[in-house]
């Protein structure tokens, strides 16, 4: 039995009939170019607005929080005379590496202490290092970690353009090497000071949920979402939820 064409079939036939003509081909190409231009403009405008937002917020924070920077630096120096800042290579947008800045929260010889801990754990047939109660963390380090004061120097990374105010947290190269294809989607955005899982549960969330929330952010990213997450971060930090 021959199928009776419905309205959608007729429209489709007319569409391809027009496409077969010279004027139809020109029209289709013009519409395709217009769509590409529109999307490029929207994406470019979003990136530009996000960068302006980052510069304004990070610049203001660096000035407004300078007294906290000074007090924190003095307390770290007084405790063990070690360096005030801790720098480490991290991986950002599209796999590019950069040096992240943090207030030092661990003892100066933290790597040696970690090695001893691993050796002790191996003697017990385990290589797991507990993060809670980590003996490498200094007294002032416990406090600045709980309230994320150790992360404040990263406003400088944001100002320089290595990071953004909101985005997936920056990771070390060794972690990226073990990424699945799904987890690598995190590298499609600049790393940020805060993100979905920082607000939701911080380090209490497992890796799979962190990846899921980061990808959700990337797929729905907007300047308004960034502003919302920025405001939601404040109570999460003040309560010290999920931080140690």
Report yes or no on 81 lying in a domain. yes
Which of 178, 166, 242 minimizes the C-alpha distance to 205?
Answer: 242
Give how many domains the chain has, as a whole number: 1
Cite the DSSP H helix spans in 161-222.
Answer: 173-177, 196-200, 207-219
d(CA 35, CA 29): 10
Residue range(s) defining the domain that contains residue 232: 46-104+139-239
Instruction: Examine residue 131 and state whether it is found in any structural domain, yes or no.
Output: no
3-state helix, strand, coil in the chain (%, to 5): 65, 10, 25
Find the mean pLDDT for residues 14-25. Answer: 62
Span 26-47, pLDDT tens digits: 666 777 777 776 766 667 777 8
Helix 22-64 × helix 7-19 angle, to 10° = 100
Q: Is residue 185, in this structure, part of any structural domain at all?
A: yes
What pLDDT is recorded for position 204?
Answer: 66
Which residues are paired to 137 by β-bridges?
106
The two structure tokens encoding residue 206: 């497992």
What does pTM read for this prediction? 0.74
């Amino acid at each position: 039995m021959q199928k009776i064409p419905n309205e959608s079939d007729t429209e489709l036939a007319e569409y391809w009939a027009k496409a077969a003509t010279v004027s139809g081909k020109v029209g289709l190409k013009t519409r395709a170019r217009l769509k590409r231009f529109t999307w490029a403009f929207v994406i470019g405008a979003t990136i530009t607005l996000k960068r302006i937002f980052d510069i304004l917020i990070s610049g203001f924070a660096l000035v407004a929080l300078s007294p906290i920077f000074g007090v924190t630096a003095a307390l770290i120096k007084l405790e063990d005379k070690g360096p005030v800042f801790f720098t480490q290579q991290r991986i950002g947008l599209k796999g590019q590496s950069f040096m992240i800045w943090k207030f030092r929260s661990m003892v100066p010889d933290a790597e040696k202490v970690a090695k001893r801990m691993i050796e002790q754990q191996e003697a017990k047939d385990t290589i797991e290092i507990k993060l809670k109660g980590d003996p490498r963390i200094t007294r002032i380090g416990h406090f600045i970690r709980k309230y994320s004061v150790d992360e404040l120097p990263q406003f400088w990374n944001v100002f320089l353009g290595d990071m953004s105010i909101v985005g997936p947290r920056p990771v070390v190269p060794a972690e990226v090497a073990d990424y699945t294809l799904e987890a690598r989607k995190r590298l499609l955005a600049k790393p940020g000071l805060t993100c979905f899982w920082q607000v939701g549960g911080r380090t209490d969330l497992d890796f799979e949920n962190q990846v899921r929330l980061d990808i959700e952010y990337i797929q729905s990213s907007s300047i308004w979402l960034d502003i919302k997450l920025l405001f939601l971060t404040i109570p999460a930090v003040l309560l010290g939820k999920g931080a140690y």
